[in-house]
Amino acid sequence: MRQYAVIFTVLLGLLLILVIPSTPGGGGEQDLITYWSASRLLVTGENPYDPDALGRLEGELRPEIAVNGPVTPAWNPPWLLLTLAPLTLFPFDLAIRIWIFLNIAFIVIALYLVWQMHGQASDTRGFILILGAGFLLANTITLLRLGQITSLILLCLVLVVWLIQKEMYFLAGGVLLMLTVKPHLTYIILPIFLIHAILHRRWSILIGLATAGLISIFIMWLIFPNWISAYIKTLFTLPYSSLSMSTIGSFFETTFGFRYFRYLGLFLIPLSLPLARSVDRIGWLTVLSIALVISLPLAPYGFSFDYILLLLAIVEIILWLRTEKLPPQKARIVVIGLVLIFAYQLWLLSLPITPYSWWVWSAVAIMVLYILIVKYLYAYQSPAQ
């Protein structure tokens, strides 16, 4: 299975390195240019959160950007910029291709580890099936075309679980820091990990998290001492209330003017406690999938490419189909549901202009499908089944 993963990554990577940069409207650079430019400013000792400096650098890379209004700053914590700093060793055009390849590798590695953790290392055909599903998902295609970073969050999320299962708790805590790069996607996931660490007295996880954070802060202070004030100032420029996003709250705001629906997800945070307590009973991957399918559509902030995190749930659904956990009639309904979800997303991708909020309904469909399956497997079936 590992050989298939390597071959798939290399072949698909080389293909998309050639295809994506020439794709109209999404050549793998739209979002990457901000990350690359901010990281470049950081490693050269400048302010990575200065919009004027970002505008100057991005204008040099892509002159057309200078005439398209103010640039979008990097609102992510500085440890993301430190992580992406090696990309700035390469010219931007080459960095685009490297990042496309890395994005593919992150997704393949994450899927490989998930399939392995589910005990399916010998099911090569099943692994090929989830690879196909992973890269046919329109969220994945959008992520690759924009040069987004949510694939890194997916990989780190899976790595944390893998390291915990290997009892490498300190390293798991260190990787956990990367889940704070997009806290609007992990606002339930992070508390689950922290509560689980406290309940099981795995203090090494918390120490690893604190150590990684302190090291990142120290490195930032050495490179750019004023980063705290610069970053806080940038956070206050986030045009949160004016953005149209791929969430239920954004849909109700843009359609009916119900502004406060954006904050519905915050009421889900108390669910972290019962979910953390359920880890020993139903397993890490199922707990995290439940948290993600519920929290992502209701997140206060998020876009279509962020739904790549739902691959955890999609992999489990495919696993349950492969291992015949569902009776034939229910399995057929699930397969039809998955096909319709994928078809809906690909239809949205084919439209010249698509309202961001339309994407949320595919995530809602995955949530309903996944929750119904989990309810059947863990509530309706007797222990003997």
For residue 2, give both structure tokens.
């590992």
Give the pLDDT band (50/70/90) at residue 171: very high
pLDDT value at position 383? Answer: 39
Query: Cβ contacts of residue 317 below 8 Å, gap of 6+?
Result: 334, 338, 369, 370, 373
C-alpha radius of gyration, the chain, whole number: 21
Query: Cβ contacts of residue 270 below 8 Å, gap of 6+?
Result: none
Which residue is listed with tokens 């055909």? 125
Whether the pLDDT of residue 67 is over 60: the answer is: no
pLDDT value at position 385? Answer: 35
pLDDT value at position 149? Answer: 95
pLDDT value at position 1? Answer: 77
Which residue is listed with tokens 């084919």? 350
Percent of the chain with pLDDT over 70: 95
pLDDT value at position 25? Answer: 63
pLDDT for 216-227, tens place per residue?
Answer: 999 999 999 999
Give the pLDDT band (50/70/90) at residue 84: very high
pLDDT for 8-55, tens place per residue?
Answer: 999 999 999 999 988 776 688 889 999 999 999 999 989 999 988 998
Give the lowest-confidence range in 39-43, 72-76, 296-300, 319-323: 72-76
114-136 average pLDDT score: 91
pLDDT averaged over every residue in the chain: 91
Phi-psi sector, 299: left (phi>0), alpha (psi -120 to 50), beta: beta
Q: How far apart are CA 318 and CA 320, in angstroms?
A: 5
pLDDT for 194-223, tens place per residue?
Answer: 999 999 999 999 999 999 999 999 999 999
For residue 43, give both structure tokens.
């490693």
Give the lowest-confidence range in 161-165, 167-171, 248-252, 366-370: 248-252
327-348 average pLDDT score: 95
Which one is predicted more confidently, 59 or 63?
A: 59
pTM: predicted TM-score of the whole model, two decimal places: 0.94
For residue 317, give both structure tokens.
């659904």
Give the pLDDT band (50/70/90) at residue 68: low
Whether the pLDDT of residue 242 is over 70: the answer is: no
258-276 average pLDDT score: 89
Give the pLDDT band (50/70/90) at residue 382: very low
Helix axes 92-117, 138-146, angle to 10 degrees: 150
